[in-house]
Amino acid sequence: MSLRPARPGAIFLPGRLATDRRSGADEELYMQFSYATAGSCATRIDIEIDGGVIVGARFIDGCAGNTRAVAALVAGMPVAEAVRRLKGIACQGGTSCPDQLARALEAAALRDASPGLAV
């Protein structure tokens, strides 16, 4: 079974890749999900966000040096800042791996309208 949908978008799977609210005085959003890309060399991006900050991103396929560099640069960055910096960067066909990451982060923000994920 392929996790790649016919169209690009976020794949929120129950259990391993899901959203949950942590208990405590100041609830923070924790999200781990996969995003099926379109128009870039990478075919999927696995992303982890905690409290509106990107914990990690892993690109599947694509140019290893570039995608590893992008993932390293956004680690620890607030979601909104990463979207601001990456959205609209074009490589081929009007998009790129960084642009696809920005779109994935926007999809996460739309899925869970949390102030920490506002973009």
The string of pLDDT tens digits covering residues 22-72 is: 444 344 578 999 999 999 999 999 999 999 999 999 999 999 999 999 999
Whole-number pLDDT of residue 72? 97
Higher pLDDT residue, 11 or 95?
Answer: 95
Instruction: Please report, for residues 14, 56, 92, the alpha-carbon distance to residue 20 in angstroms, rounded to integers and kept in the order given.
Output: 10, 17, 36
Whole-number pLDDT of residue 5? 45
Higher pLDDT residue, 20 or 56?
Answer: 56
- Asked if 37 and 58 touch (Cβ cutoff 8 Å), the reply is no
Q: How far apart are CA 22 and CA 1, in angstroms?
A: 31
The string of pLDDT tens digits covering residues 81-114 is: 999 999 999 998 899 999 999 999 999 888 766 5
Q: How far apart are CA 118 and CA 46, in angstroms?
A: 19
Nearest to 57 by CA among 41, 38, 39, 77: 77
Residue 47 pairs with which residues in a beta bridge?
33, 57
pTM listed for this prediction: 0.77
Whole-number pLDDT of residue 109? 84
Determine phi and psi for 46, rounding to 5 degrees: -95, 125
Whole-number pLDDT of residue 9? 56
